[in-house]
Structure 1
């Protein structure tokens, strides 16, 4: 079959020598596996947080108790101290963050006001940005409860306690479910790096096809008694075969050598990345069809890959982005793969990821169809 012959020739070009096997196949997989292991070990470390509760009422203590129930943080509550001491502890590396609940926190709530909590950290990171949002949301929830009672002239400490207890019970049930479907999105760097790795490898393989186009090798292929779809299929199979081998080595190294645990089976991780690989081939083909040479392919490819990875949630949770960016993320395949991985890491079955996977494959079909059309050399190049 001509397509298989074309695919075989493309594989030989990518892996023609031992040096090519090492540089194109083994070295990238080992480097990425090492980076993944480093990120995985970093994200597994629980941040140390000190809570200074200066509030004499019950609502400040309620904030501390709720934070202590979070398994992601190492919480220590102290009754005395100063801002400078906590700042110094952060600078010395003894703790990662400090939370100060002001002395009038409960009084402001009872008065119907919205108090604020002081949150110190050395620099802005994913976990402390998420924690800051949680603190703001918790204070806002209490303020809304107090405002609701005030509207009905029922704002007393007893009524607020009763309402907050009811809200807290319901919130715990919801939060427990969200915690199960949130491991990957909460720490997206690991799988996000894998997706970036896949995109970069595919762009390199597509550059070989661009060389054929520049050197008019592809034009000569179209003059042979071979149909255009067979040429496109052969190039597609060759790139996917090389990418599959690279993915297999990378997943084995990450999961079995470096001990990375995605929260579900390595086989399922491989299948998800394989689906994304097919979509990546379509994306790279579409980009290649819109440029004239390999240099432009590299430049335009970087301008597409990095923003889509950022928008798709590869480097930070989509939930912390503005609403309009969260909507735009739906147009990136990275977002749907991370969602599928997120559901699997939360204990979901294969059926729970059917919709995200189908959307990823739909991206692949559309992009591959477009790429196959625009990568075809012009009639002038074929006749010339």
Structure 2
């Protein structure tokens, strides 16, 4: 079981990161026609075979095999970007397809980056466009100069899904480790010893998974991953502890192993592991602040795309806060057992 859990992320990520988007045909329908949409179009053209669509049903273009996916920019897209509203943009295609996920991830990054540059320009449109004209699209896609966005996106997605594997494996093993009441009654132990013993085992399992995926990423991406290895190691050490504490929390709520999937998968969806948070409605974006996966994804983005140490530090502190809450709540009922 342990070997299977550790190898599963390796198999999954290995399949995903071998995807190439160099020959993907993507339709682009621009109903806003602004300077910003032209910038987005040029950015996408660097990575995809972009096909202009003037009118008609975007879905028909896909069904007719003209393109693989279609990006439709609706009227008011630029205004929604600057006013921090839900963006008027639609992405058509098979949502479960890996190409769809890569394109969606790149669009989400563009939206987030543009808003960061706009905020740093004191929300002055003239200053915003001057910054872009002066620095080019590399300024929008920020600090990782010389590294193709497709490669960074693939690395990011690997670690997004690693989050889910860490949470699932922790919950699965926690069911076995924490439901050992016979041992507790036979040999009473201190609550702190009990908690840290089980927590240490779960964290160790998580670290093994992280090391496996890290080694694979180093082999496939070489120096690219080395640029972020220290920051990612610190982040996922904290995530490993958080996942273990979360498993203790979930174990208190339910004794059925199958229930963990109904908790972990929606939490990963809400946190942005499968798609960009910016693509979700405002209500869901607000709710996502109260799940730890949101801040892990933010931390990964800050490492790979923004190189923001200060924001990464904030993300880690928030994750540690979740960890503390999970440990406290997850061990409350153990006091009576151990007495």
TM-score normalised per structure 2 = 0.70
Q: Pick from 88, 91, 95: which aligns with 2:67?
A: 95
1:253 to 212, 216, 223: 216
2:206 aligned partner: 243
The structure 1 residue matched to 2:49, chosen from 59, 74, 85, is 74
Q: 1:302 to 1:130 in 2, by over 3 A?
A: closer
Distance 1:120 1:281 in 2: 36
The SS at the match of 1:36 is: helix
Query: Are residue 47 (structure 1) and residue 24 (structure 2) matched?
Result: yes
CA distance in 1, matches of 2:297, 2:235: 9
- The answer as to 2:182 corresponding to 1:220 is no
Partner of 2:112: none
Using a 3 Å threshold, how does the CA distance of structure 1 residues 189 and 62 change in structure 2: closer, same or farther? closer
Residue number in structure 2 paired with 1:331:
290
**1:227, 1:352 → 2: CA distance?**
38
Question: 1:143-182 alignment to 2 at 5 Å?
Answer: 168-169=129-130, 177-180=139-142
CA offsets 1:307-353 (integer angstroms, 9 cap, x no match): 11111111110001111211111111111111111111125154441
What whole-Å deviation, never above 9, does each CA across 1:98-149 have from its counterpart, x for those lacking one?
Answer: 6799xxx9xxxxxxxxxxx998954453466689999xxxxxxxxxxxxxxx
Long gaps (5+) in structure 2: 76-87, 110-124
Partner Cα distance (1:330, 1:69) in 2: 29
Displacement after TM superposition at 1:235 (Å): 1.6
Judge conservation of contact 2:218–2:226 (CA < 8 Å) in 1: no
TM-score normalized by the length of structure 1: 0.62
> Residues 108 and 277 of structure 2 are in contact (CA less than 8 Å); yes or no, is this contact kept in structure 1?
no
Partner of 2:10: 33
Who is 2:2 aligned against? Answer: 24
Distance 1:258 1:176 in 2: 21
Matching of residue 354 in structure 1 with residue 319 in structure 2: no
The separation in 1 between residues aligned to 2:72 and 2:170, in whole angstroms, is 49
- Structure 1 position 375 matched with structure 2 position 337: no
Could you say which residue in structure 2 is the equivalent of 1:194?
162
* Residue pair 1:192, 1:314 contacting (<8 A) in 2 also: yes
Conserved in 2, the CA contact under 8 Å of 1:186 and 1:317? Answer: no
Secondary structure, aligned partner of 2:67: coil
Once the two structures are TM-superposed, the CA of residue 285 in structure 1 deviates from its matched residue by 0.7
Alpha-carbon RMSD: 4.4
- On the 8 A contact 1:51/1:98 being kept in 2, the answer is yes
- Which is higher, the Rg of structure 1 or of structure 2? 1
1:263-282 mapped onto 2 (5 Å cutoff): 264-282=227-245
Q: Are residues 178 and 333 of structure 1, via their aligned partners in 2, closer, same or farther at CA, if it must alter by over 3 Å?
A: farther
Distance in 2 of aligned mates of 1:318 and 1:118: 14
Count of residues in correspondence between the two structures: 300
- The DSSP-based 3-state class of the residue aligned with 1:49 is strand
1:46-102 Cα shifts (integer Å, max 9, x gaps): 63235699x9xxx69996676134334333559xx9969x956x446453246799x
Q: 173, 177, 186: which is aligned to 1:205? A: 173
1:283 aligns with 2:255: no
Contact persistence 1:119–1:132 (CA under 8 A)? no
Residues in 2 aligned to 1:197 and 1:118: alpha-carbon distance in whole angstroms: 30
Instruction: Give the C-alpha shift of residue 256 in structure 1.
Output: 1.9
The runs of 5 or more residues in structure 1 that have no matched partner are: 1-22, 106-116, 135-163
In 2, Cα distance between the equivalents of 1:38 and 1:234?
A: 35
Evaluate the alpha carbon distance shift between residue 46 and residue 280 of structure 1 in structure 2; reply closer, same or farther with a 3 A threshold. farther
Residue by residue over 1:166-200, the C-alpha shift from the partner in whole angstroms, topping out at 9 and shown as x without a partner, is: 87546666975442389678996422210011011
